[in-house]
Amino acid sequence: MAYLEITNACVHFPVRNTWGTTGEVVRAVDGVSLSVEKGRILGLVGESGCGKSTLTRAIMQLQPLTAGCITLNGENLTALSVAQVRRRRLEFQMVFQDPYASLNPRFSIFSTLLEALTRRAPLPRSEREAAVAELMQRVGLSPEHMYKYPHEFSGGQRQRIAIARAIAPRPALLLADEPVSALDVSIQSQILNLLCALTREMNLTMIFISHDLSVVHYMADDIAVMRRGKIVEYGTADDVFHRPQAEYTQTLLAAIPKL
Ligand SMILES: Nc1ncnc2c1ncn2[C@@H]1O[C@H](COP(=O)(O)OP(=O)(O)OP(=O)(O)O)[C@@H](O)[C@H]1O
Ligand SMILES: [Mg+2]
């Protein structure tokens, strides 16, 4: 069994109107089966609204499944209690699209990262600054800025802080939902390279989400193409990018601007 195994996962939302539910459903995730081996990067690509974020939230156990099951390391996550999920969540962390919205503006970087570093176990006062400094260096930030606040950083630096916070509890699985979509093109590749390097250094397994097939090809070992809640193509990154089988993948490829 693979490290992460998603079997026939469905998330259906009831459609509501002013008078309650209409009996219809939005099939945001509709029978998705995927497996990811330890240490690999799976790229999940598809147009807006195809269900990428909903699937990610389901893996994080932030969104219950309507049907199906998700196992991590052989353990059925969907059968865990709330308290068990809270403890497991240290093992799977997320990086979001908008680093400004995901960081608390009232906390200095030191406070934010210290909180993340001490989620597993407390740190003695004398070791805190050094631990935060080391973490900042790991993601390419200068430790001299540790007492600054999120608004004092650029978008790219803020995303580095969000990545530092995600890796602080030493997770095994990292879910990155459009982590570079809100950044300048010139900054995007730096953040992608950082994520790649960390994945290797920490032997992380990663699901990398994007609507941009060329970004996913750059990052991922394997690619799954999603459309309207279903996986329409799955294979190694090179196969999907250079020899796409599904007509929809060919449309996505044709949409990439050529220089
Ligand atoms: N809580 C919810 N209640 C009802 N419908 C929802 C809910 N969350 C998502 N949806 C619907 O499910 C579908 C999939 O949404 P989702 O956010 O997963 O797409 P996405 O692929 O992440 O899109 P994007 O690229 O824009 O982020 C959409 O039609 C969305 O409107
Ligand atoms: Mg989304």
Q: Over the stretch 150-202, which tens digit does the pLDDT of each residue have?
A: 999 999 999 999 999 999 999 999 999 999 998 988 899 999 999 999 999 99
Residue located nearest, by CA, to atom 12 of ligand 1: 28
Pseudo-torsion of CA 255, 159, 40, 204, nearest 10°? Answer: -170
- Is residue 50 very low, low, confident or very high in pLDDT (cuts 50, 70, 90)? very high
- Taking only the tens place, the pLDDT of each residue in 91-141 is 999 999 887 788 999 999 999 999 999 998 999 999 999 999 999 999 999
Taking all residues of the chain, what is their mean pLDDT, rounded to a whole number?
A: 93
CB neighbour list of residue 5: distance below 8 Å, 6 or more residues apart:
34, 35, 70, 71, 72
Ligand minimally distant from the alpha carbon of residue 49: 1
Burial of 21 (0-12, 13-18, 19+ CB in 10 A): exposed
Cβ < 6 A, ligand 1 pocket: 13, 26, 28, 46, 48-54, 211
CB neighbour list of residue 54: distance below 8 Å, 6 or more residues apart:
11, 28, 29, 63
- Using the mean position of ligand 1's atoms as its centre, give its distance from the Cα of residue 53 in Å: 7
pTM, two decimal places: 0.92
In the chain, alpha helices (H): 52-59, 82-88, 99-102, 109-117, 125-138, 155-167, 185-201, 213-219, 237-242, 247-254
CB neighbour list of residue 47: distance below 8 Å, 6 or more residues apart:
211, 227, 252
pLDDT value at 22 more than 80: no
Mutate to test the pocket of ligand 1, among 11, 13, 225 (most ligand atoms within 8 A of CB): 13
Pseudo-torsion of CA 212, 218, 224, 225, nearest 10°? Answer: 30
Domains of the chain: 4-254 (3.40.50.300)
